[in-house]
């Protein structure tokens, strides 16, 4: 009889890359009976052998997500009656605790270093952030000390969680690679970004850095708040930004093929303190043979400079961003080598197949 596994998320979509396409699909291929419970439109479907169930609730704000959807998520979790439950959001710890008391095996997957992430939350008043962070951290420790294991995305976060639960492993959010698929390159004099268009990716500084570079274009795609979009539109070089909004991934790949540089100039206190990558943009660009300009975090420098596939900069230094863009544009042969090096590194090291092995061994140990 197959071991039943249930992944639960309150915040992520049913086709989330890390949760569905990587972990759930990998476990299903390995012979587990896998269910994914999400918030969103009512549905009950099977995709790639994964049973997807929705609560039917579409939270419109944090209150609805943190509180109103909990009862439904709990009900669906009990109906599934799985052997192992994996939780993907910090607000699901209370559900994990109840499931643990019901005799289930529980895994917490910390996508971020949550106590440090709280210190970056603009919606929490500054004078409360430290209190909220410490309170959450204490509750997290209390919860995962009873769990059967934990997962996170970088060694530093795992080291912190291991102090509470020794069965904690690194499963990095590397991309799924098809090394046989040809990579098309038809670059224009353009830089690009696709993802959450927020101030953490320093689009203001990037657009300001473009001002003195003749003929440069910025392909920018993703979801953005009205206020931040208006701020970007007020910049002098906005007329050279080709803003696409939210687009399918096939169109994202086309943007990558038409660009000379991928921009991952990210900053957060969490990433700086905890050694986070600041997203998987680096690997998407590397896969697409794009030279990368990214933040000079230690871990980024090891990957990007260590494999000679881009340039690391201070994300707040407009002149440094400008100089990095100019260098890659002015030396196209070296840029081509950077792109090839990035693709080679992703195929050999930074890909989901390497992490899938860790995931399956982790599950075998828990069973």
Q: Which residues of 51-62 are buried (b: 16+ CB within 10 A; e: fewer)?
A: bbbbbebebeee
User: Which of 95, 357, 159, 4 has its CA nearest to residue 150?
Assistant: 159
Same fold, 4-174+351-366 and 190-348: yes
Give, for 86, the enclosing helix (H) or strand (E). Answer: strand 84-87
pLDDT attached to residue 268: 66
pLDDT attached to residue 203: 97
Q: Which CATH class is domain 190-348?
A: alpha beta
Ranges of each domain in the chain = 4-174+351-366, 190-348
pLDDT attached to residue 280: 78
**C-alpha–C-alpha distance, residues 142 and 158, integer Å:** 16
User: Which of 276, 59, 309, 4 has its CA nearest to residue 158?
Assistant: 276
Q: Give the residues across from 54 on adjacent strands.
A: 38
Beta carbons of 37 and 6 less than 8 angstroms apart: yes
Q: Which CATH class is domain 4-174+351-366?
A: alpha beta
Beta carbons of 356 and 309 less than 8 angstroms apart: no
- How would you write the pLDDT of the chain (367 residues) with one tens digit per residue? 899 999 999 988 898 889 999 999 999 999 999 999 999 888 899 999 999 999 988 776 766 676 678 889 999 999 999 999 999 999 999 999 999 999 999 999 999 888 888 887 877 888 889 998 999 999 999 999 999 999 999 888 999 999 999 999 999 989 888 777 778 898 999 999 998 899 889 999 999 999 999 999 999 999 899 999 999 999 999 999 999 998 887 899 999 999 999 999 988 655 554 445 556 788 999 999 999 999 998 888 999 999 999 999 999 999 999 999 999 999 999 999 999 999 999 999 999 999 999 999 999 999 9
**C-alpha–C-alpha distance, residues 335 and 308, integer Å:** 10
Tokens standing for residue 42:
């009512």
pLDDT attached to residue 274: 45
Strand pairing category for 190-194 and 292-295:
unpaired
Q: Which residues of 335-352 are buried (b: 16+ CB within 10 A; e: fewer)?
A: beebbebbbebbeeebbb
CB within 8 Å of 63: residues ≥ 6 apart:
none
Beta carbons of 19 and 151 less than 8 angstroms apart: no
Task: Please state the pTM of the whole predicted model.
Answer: 0.82
């Amino acid at each position: 009889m197959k071991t039943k596994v249930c992944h639960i998320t309150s915040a992520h979509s049913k086709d989330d890359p890390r949760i569905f396409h990587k972990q759930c699909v990998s476990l299903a291929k390995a012979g587990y009976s896998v269910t994914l419970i999400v918030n969103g439109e009512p549905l009950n479907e099977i995709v790639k052998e994964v049973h997807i169930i929705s609560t039917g609730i579409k939270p419109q704000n944090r209150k609805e997500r943190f509180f109103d959807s909990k009862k439904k998520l709990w009900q669906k979790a009990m109906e599934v009656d799985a052997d192992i439950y994996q939780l993907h959001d910090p607000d699901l710890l209370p559900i994990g605790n109840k499931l643990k008391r019901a005799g289930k095996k529980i895994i917490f997957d910390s996508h971020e270093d949550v106590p440090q992430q709280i210190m970056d939350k603009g919606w929490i008043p500054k004078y409360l952030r430290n209190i909220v962070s410490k309170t959450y951290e204490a509750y997290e420790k209390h919860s995962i000390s009873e769990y059967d294991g934990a997962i996170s995305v970088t060694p530093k976060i795992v080291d912190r969680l291991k102090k509470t639960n020794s069965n904690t492993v690194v499963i990095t959010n590397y991309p799924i690679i098809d090394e046989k698929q040809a990579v098309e390159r038809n670059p224009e004099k353009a830089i690009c970004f696709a993802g959450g268009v927020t101030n953490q990716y320093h689009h203001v500084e990037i657009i300001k850095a473009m001002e003195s570079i003749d003929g440069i274009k910025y392909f920018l795609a993703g979801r953005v708040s009205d206020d931040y979009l208006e701020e970007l539109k007020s910049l002098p070089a906005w007329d050279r930004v080709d803003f696409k909004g939210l687009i399918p991934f096939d169109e994202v790949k086309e943007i990558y093929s038409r660009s000379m540089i991928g921009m991952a100039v990210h900053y957060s206190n969490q990433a700086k303190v905890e050694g986070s990558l600041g997203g998987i943009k680096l690997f998407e660009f590397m896969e697409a043979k794009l030279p990368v300009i990214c933040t000079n975090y230690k871990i980024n420098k090891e990957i990007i400079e260590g494999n000679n596939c881009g340039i690391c900069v201070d994300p707040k230094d407009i002149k440094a961003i400008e100089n990095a863009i100019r260098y890659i544009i002015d030396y196209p042969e070296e840029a081509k080598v950077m792109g090839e090096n990035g693709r080679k590194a992703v195929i050999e090291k930074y890909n989901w197949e390497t992490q899938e092995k860790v995931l399956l061994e982790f599950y075998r140990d828990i069973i």
